[in-house]
Amino acid sequence: MKRFENRTVLVTGAGSGMGRAVALRLAEEGAAVALWGRRVALLDRVADEIAAAGGRALAQGCDIASPGDIAGNLEALIAEFGALHAVFANAGHLGDFKPLRETGPADFDALIRINMLGTQQTIAQSLPRMAGGAVLVNASWTVGAVMPGAGAYAASKAALTAMMRTWAVEEGPRGNRINAISPGIILTRMADDALDPAISARLADHTPLRRNGRSEDVAGTAAWLLSEDAAFVTGQDIIVDGGFTLGGALR
């Protein structure tokens, strides 16, 4: 399929994990992809993969916690590709796992600056450059279920889902669709750093599909929500978790 021919998509946090997988999937389907992240070497590798497959990509170092970085990068990508049609706001920060009673203001600082304000500014500055476009926010399964120790992270992601629904109403008359995706246990580099292998195995056993997710499991759903195949879908949070949050008696 070439659902994204003649379309430009911005992917934040594109150097690894879900961002990389989605960027590669979009490029495969014809998109010109702007790759944002703080680790430029990783972005360059993804851009090289896309170019080797015959696609177009622009690697741009960016700290989304800096509104100035966002503004400058948007100008550069418009100059390069001529337009912006969609955004996958994927970049995020996990923070330290600890009980909420032990969580202090410093623990919330990076979560608020990156997950909340960084994502909000990425989208807010992108929307004026779009008409009839699509935005997808990477939220989290922890918004609707509980992972002890991840309360601060979950709170920052819950704020994004609230903003997503507001944006959907505000931007609908302009033809822009805003949705979220809530991945379950996806074995990205960030998740591997946080999860003990024994806990990871227990989480897989709790999942009806009997495995944890891979970044590629998210890419197809993300591509659908950003494409015209989802032209009448807005304000929704789609859970991609292999059934993990269903819980129940399946073991």
Q: Which tokens hold the place of 202?
A: 């227990």
d(CA 112, CA 92): 10
| Active-site entry in 4, 141, 153, 244 | 153
**Taking the chain, what is the end-to-end CA distance rounded to the nearest angstrom?**
37
85 counts as catalytic: no
CA triple 229-217-47, angle to 5 deg = 85
Cβ-proximal residues to 190 (8 Å cutoff; 6+ apart), any chain: 17, 94
Q: In the block, which residue shows the tokens 């170019």?
A: 51
Please state, in angstroms and rounded to a whole number, the distance separating the CA atoms of residues 88 and 135: 6
Catalytic residues: 153
